[in-house]
């Protein structure tokens, strides 16, 4: 992630959309049901949309809590470049719902972005657990001629910030458990395959 | 080499049709065969062209070598006790994949996640057996009944070399069109080796047909109900559960048993 101050001067915002412009972006809304048109919190949705639009992302695919596994799979496979969240609590909620996929999502380079409320927030930098970006919400400044809200892309500087302790702890505890599970799955897979093949070898003449 | 010439014509035909369709939709031409960002009409036409191309290879090859369709494929599918091998192949493939999915489910490497709309799921379920049989028959006819048959007939290569070359062509054919992931190639190669060994060892298509159809049956059957959580080296990915290391080991182990029991190599 480039220096946030430079981004403000040049008006450039990059949360990964440029790096992977072919892939679509998602948004996570805790109010969403499986139906894409059933969202209770329109203000949250608008905030996320504005923050994403300021980063050059016009179309978002909405996912709700019931679709965490699907969303994680798409982030992991690179079908989605990243996902926007209303706040960090939502990021944690999402990661907690798909603990097995946290590593793969981050390794796939998926961006988890938070559309924060506070426009005066200065971007914070620092390499940390996870890869969560934040972009400040749209400016309330109004264009004097059109009276329409005037977007100021240069204030939507994203920065890498730490996940909170909960997410970090969850992630780390999960990593260890996950490693054991994967080893067990691999060993049992080999065992099952071997059993079938040995059975086949012993009874080949009878079976054929 | 007649078969290779016929097979090489398929991607050429696919590219020509793709180019015509892109032109009709005022889209730029592509060097690669790719369905990326194209309208459904181009996608569907591409699929139909591939199937027609493969069907042409199946139908034209016997005529090209001076035989006829019934005699050629009739000899490859004898109506005798060897038919049992199709059931054995299918049962083994289904058993291995089912055990793997149960283990992966238990350890969180795959998760139950029913996706897609219910009507589509029902259609897929009803079409599961026909799709598995159709897919297996088409690929076995082309890659074993035409390509491997022709390599064995027209070259002096040892059986193992014919098996390896046929398996390589089988695997490569799955990547002619631009695909999402290429690391699954070793899985396809191992599958190709198993199916080619099955044909070389028995001299007919029943065993390879059974294995192939059984594999497609399980893979397609679980697809709308499970999501792969990985890691990929264990589970493979998406519709390629045999592309993980246990899958590859299973395929090669199965091939080794067939080769050992048949004593063809």
Position B247 pLDDT exceeds 70: yes
Pick the range with the lowest mean pLDDT from A27-31, A171-175, B54-58, B72-76. A171-175
For B92, the domain range is 79-262
Within-domain flag for B91: yes
Asked if residue B82 has pLDDT above 80, the reply is: yes
Nearest CA in chain A to B241: A189
What pLDDT score was predicted for residue A182? 87
Of the ranges A120-129, A193-202, B49-58, B168-177, which one carries the lowest mean pLDDT score?
A: A120-129
B132 with B57, same domain? no
Same domain, residue pair B98 and B142 = yes
**Complex ipTM value:** 0.78
> B125 and B44 in one domain?
no
Asked whether residue A9 carries a pLDDT value surpassing 90, the answer given is: no
Q: Which of B66, B87, B111 is the last residue of a domain?
A: B66
Provide the pLDDT confidence category of residue B101 given band limits of 50, 70 and 90.
very high
Residues in chain A within 8 Å Cβ distance of B88: 207-208
Domain shared by B17 and B123, yes or no: no
Residue A44: pLDDT band (50, 70, 90) is confident
Count of the separate structural domains present in chain B: 2
- Are the beta carbons of A30 and A90 closer than 8 angstroms? yes
Q: Which residue of B has its CA nearest to A180?
A: B107
Q: Give the long-range contacts of residues B38-44, CB within 8 A, separation 24 or more.
A: B42/B18
Residues B102 and B207 in one domain: yes
Do B109 and A76 lie within an 8 Å CB cutoff? Answer: no
Nearest neighbour of A197 by CB, restricted to B109, B238, B254: B254
Q: Lowest-confidence range among A22-31, A32-41, A109-118, B125-134?
A: A32-41
Contact A186 B253 (CB under 8 A): no
What element of type H or E holds B196? helix B185-202
Question: What contacts 24+ positions apart, CB below 8 Å, involve B153-156?
Answer: B153/B65, B154/B1, B154/B2, B155/B1
3-state secondary structure B205-261: CHHHHHHHHHHHHHHHHHCCCEEECCCHHHHCECCEHHHCHHHHHHHHHHHHHHHHH
- Is B45 near chain A, with CB under 8 Å? no
Question: Hey, of B37, B90, B102, B107, which one would you mutate to test binding to chain A, going by the most A CBs within 10 A of its CB?
Answer: B107
Answer yes or no: are the C-beta atoms of A97 and A73 closer than 8 Å: no
The mean per-residue pLDDT over the stretch B154-182 comes to: 91
Establish if B236 belongs to a structural domain: yes
Residue B74 in domain: no
**For residue A33, pLDDT beyond 90:** no
Determine the number of helices (DSSP H) and then strands (DSSP E) in chain A.
6, 6
Q: Does residue B50 belong to any structural domain of this protein?
A: yes
- Runs of H (alpha helix) within A11-162: 42-54, 68-77, 88-97, 102-107
Domain assignment present for B58: yes
Residues B22 and B114 in one domain: no
Q: Is B71 among the domain residues?
A: no
Q: Which residue of A has its CA nearest to B95?
A: A196
Contact B104 A185 (CB under 8 A): yes
Q: According to the model, what pLDDT value does residue A6 have?
A: 31
**Highest-confidence range of A47-61, B171-185, B188-202, by mean pLDDT?**
B188-202
Residue B187 has pLDDT above 60, yes or no: yes
Q: Is B263 left (phi over 0), alpha (psi -120 to 50) or beta?
A: left
Tokens of A133: 């970006």
CA-CA-CA-CA dihedral for A86, A87, A92, A95, to nearest 10: 30
A168 or A205, greater pLDDT: A205
pTM score > 0.90 for this model? no
Q: Is A100 on the interface with B (CB under 8 A)?
A: yes
Q: Which of residues 104-143 of A touch B (CB under 8 A)?
A: 104
What percentage of residues in chain A have a pLDDT greater than 70? 53
Asked, for residue B10, whether it belongs to a domain, the answer is yes
CB contact under 8 A, B103 and A188: yes
Cα A134 to Cα A136: distance, rounded to the nearest angstrom: 7
The answer to the question of residue B72 being in a domain is: no
User: Hey, is the C-beta of B134 within 8 angstroms of any chain A C-beta?
Assistant: no
Residue B135 confidence (pLDDT): 93
**Shared domain check, B251 and B144:** yes
CA distance, residue B89 to nearest chain A CA (Å): 10
> A117 pLDDT exceeds 60?
no
Cα–Cα distance measured from residue B239 to residue B183, given in angstroms and rounded to the nearest whole number: 13
Element (H, E) at A28: strand A24-28
3-state secondary structure of B80: coil
Residue with the larger pLDDT of the pair B144 and A116? B144
Lowest-pLDDT choice from A98-112, A134-148, B132-146, B187-201: A134-148
One domain for residues B166 and B97: yes
Residues B84 and B60 in one domain: no
Percent of chain B beyond pLDDT 90?
68
pLDDT value at position A80? Answer: 87
Of A73, A100, A186, the CB nearest to B108: A100
Distance of CA B125 to the CA centre of its chain: 20
pLDDT at A146 exceeding the cut of 90: no
> Is residue B28 over pLDDT 80?
yes
Whether B113 and B182 map to the same domain: the answer is yes
pLDDT above 60: residue B96: yes
Distance CA B259, CA B265 (A): 7
Q: What is the pLDDT of residue A171?
A: 60
CB contact under 8 A, A208 and B85: yes
CB-nearest to A196 from B99, B230, B237 is B99
Inter-chain touch B261–A70, beta carbons under 8 Å: no
Same domain, B85 and B31: no
| A138's tokens | 């749209």
Strands of chain B, DSSP E: 110-112, 226-228
Question: Is residue B156 domain-shared with residue B255, that is, in the same domain?
Answer: yes
Q: Any CB–CB contact under 8 A between A77 and chain B?
A: yes
Residues sharing a CB contact under 8 Å with residue B158, sequence separation 6 or more, in sequence order: none
Q: Is B215 in contact with B97 (CB distance < 8 Å)?
A: yes
Predicted confidence (pLDDT) at residue A19 exceeds the cutoff of 60: no
State the nearest Cα–Cα gap between A5 and chain B, in angstroms.
36
Q: What is the mean pLDDT of chain B?
A: 91
pLDDT tier at A49, thresholds 50, 70, 90: confident
Residue B138 has pLDDT above 50, yes or no: yes
Asked which of B66, B90, B110 is the last residue of a domain, the reply is B66
Nearest to B62 by CA among B48, B78, B75: B75
Cis before B231 (ω within 30): yes
């Amino acid at each position: 992630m480039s220096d946030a101050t430079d981004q403000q001067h040049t008006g450039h915002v990059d949360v990964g959309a440029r790096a992977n412009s072919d892939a679509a972006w998602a948004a996570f809304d805790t109010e969403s049901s499986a139906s894409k048109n059933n969202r209770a919190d329109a203000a949250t949705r608008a905030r996320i949309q504005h923050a994403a639009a300021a980063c050059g992302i016009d179309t978002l695919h909405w996912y709700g809590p019931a679709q965490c596994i699907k969303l994680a799979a798409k982030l992991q496979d690179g079908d989605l470049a990243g996902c926007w969240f209303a706040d960090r609590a939502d990021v944690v909620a999402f990661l907690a719902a798909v603990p097995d996929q946290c590593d793969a999502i981050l390794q796939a380079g998926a961006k988890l972005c938070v559309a924060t409320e506070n426009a005066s927030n200065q971007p914070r930098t620092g390499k940390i657990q996870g890869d969560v970006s934040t972009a400040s919400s749209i400016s309330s400044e109004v264009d004097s001629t059109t009276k329409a809200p005037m977007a100021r892309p240069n204030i939507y500087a994203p920065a890498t910030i730490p996940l909170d302790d909960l997410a970090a702890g969850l992630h780390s505890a999960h990593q260890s458990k996950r490693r054991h599970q994967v080893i067990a799955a691999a060993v049992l897979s080999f065992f099952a395959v071997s059993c079938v093949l040995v059975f086949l070898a012993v009874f080949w003449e009878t079976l054929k | 080499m007649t078969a290779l010439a016929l097979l090489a014509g398929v991607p050429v035909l696919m590219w020509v049709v793709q180019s015509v369709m892109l032109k009709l939709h005022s889209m730029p031409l592509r060097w690669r065969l790719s369905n990326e960002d194209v309208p459904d009409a181009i996608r569907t036409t591409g699929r139909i062209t591939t199937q027609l191309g493969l069907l042409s290879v199946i139908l034209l090859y016997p005529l090209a070598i001076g035989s006829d369709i019934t005699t050629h494929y009739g000899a490859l599918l004898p109506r005798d006790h060897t038919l049992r091998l199709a059931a054995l192949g299918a049962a083994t493939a289904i058993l291995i994949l089912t055990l793997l999915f149960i283990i992966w489910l238990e350890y969180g490497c795959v998760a139950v996640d029913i996706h897609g709309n219910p009507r589509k799921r029902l259609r897929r379920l009803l079409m599961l057996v026909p799709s598995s049989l159709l897919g297996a028959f088409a690929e076995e006819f082309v890659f074993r009944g035409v390509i491997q048959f022709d390599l064995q007939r027209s070259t002096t290569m040892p059986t193992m070399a014919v098996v390896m070359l046929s398996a390589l062509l089988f695997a490569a054919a799955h990547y002619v069109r631009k695909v999402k992931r290429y690391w699954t190639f070793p899985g396809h190669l191992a599958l190709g080796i198993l199916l080619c060994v099955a044909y070389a060892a028995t001299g007919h298509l029943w065993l390879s047909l059974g294995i192939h159809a059984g594999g497609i049956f399980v893979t397609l059957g679980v697809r709308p109900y499970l999501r792969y959580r990985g890691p990929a080296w264990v589970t493979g990915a998406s519709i390629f559960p045999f592309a993980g290391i246990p899958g590859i080991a299973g395929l090669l182990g199965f091939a080794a048993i067939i080769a050992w029991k048949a004593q063809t190599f």
